[in-house]
Amino acid sequence: MIEQLMPSFLRPLAAGPMEQFEIVRIIPLDFNGAVDISFTNASLWMVIVVLSATLFFALATRRLALIPGGTQSMGEVAYEFIAKMVRDTMGDEGRQFFPFVFTLFTFVFLSNFLGLLPSIPGTPAAVHSFTVTSHIIVTFTLAIISVGLVVVYGLIKHGFGFLKLFAPSGVPLWLLPLITPIEIVSFLSRPVSLAVRLFANMLAGHVVLKVFAGFVGSLLAAGGVLSILSVVPLIGIVGVFLLEFLVAFLQAFVFAILTCIYLQDALHPSH
């Protein structure tokens, strides 16, 4: 019963630390092997994330009051937190990007957070708690959307003037042949760094938790004095688990603020 109440990555009897990241088909939709659009556990948890965010903000804004209640207060804190981030990085012009940054932060944070919740006892593996941001394809897609928005908006607003981004103002003309390629490579690496940073942090944290859980299971199975030593990795699990809650927020914050910084380049490419 205890193992069933633990998140999937903490179950010591699982095959290995990487099993928790396995994609499981819930509704197979494979067209002759050419196109596979099956509804998977990753799809399910992305839907849960979106529905959870929608439900929370619907409740937070349902009955607005001058003296807010608990749910309204949390909603206002989240709103003001992102609004301040946008103002500080992009100024008043950045308000047009607030809905995008707010949605991005909320999705990443809830994806990180919900992946830490325990699975419901007796449920099949396909619906166990799953961290969608532990898959590089998800984080890379979010990163491509963010950087793609920078490029599209920059070209629409500035035309070819957006290319000034690769020739920083104040750089001597004779240095441009050296600086410009460096700026281009730096820009192209943005989606990669955004994606890998989030993916690697979520993957590593969950793997560490599963490894510690394996130690606990092995020591308990050994019995005797070794079973007493299982307290040591168990304490490690608690510490890392609490740290993962902090990481869930920090990684969402980093992803959102870097997106704001990149969007600032779209507003002022020659800055």
Inter-CA distances, 159 with 10, 82, 143, 182, Å: 52, 29, 23, 22
End-to-end CA gap in the chain: 59
Task: Please tell me the pTM assigned to this model.
Answer: 0.85
Mean per-residue pLDDT over the chain, rounded: 83
pLDDT tens-place string over residues 245-271: 899 999 999 999 999 999 998 888 765
Q: When comparing pLDDT for 52 and 268, which is higher?
A: 52
C-alpha–C-alpha distance, residues 7 and 139, integer Å = 22
C-alpha–C-alpha distance, residues 140 and 92, integer Å = 29
Q: When comparing pLDDT for 221 and 5, which is higher?
A: 221
C-alpha–C-alpha distance, residues 51 and 218, integer Å = 39
Could you tell me the pLDDT band of residue 8, with boundaries at 50, 70 and 90?
very low
Identity of residue 32: N
pLDDT tens-place string over residues 121-176: 666 666 678 889 999 999 999 999 999 999 999 999 988 888 888 887 777 888 88
Range of the domain at 248: 2-267
- What is the domain count for the chain? 1
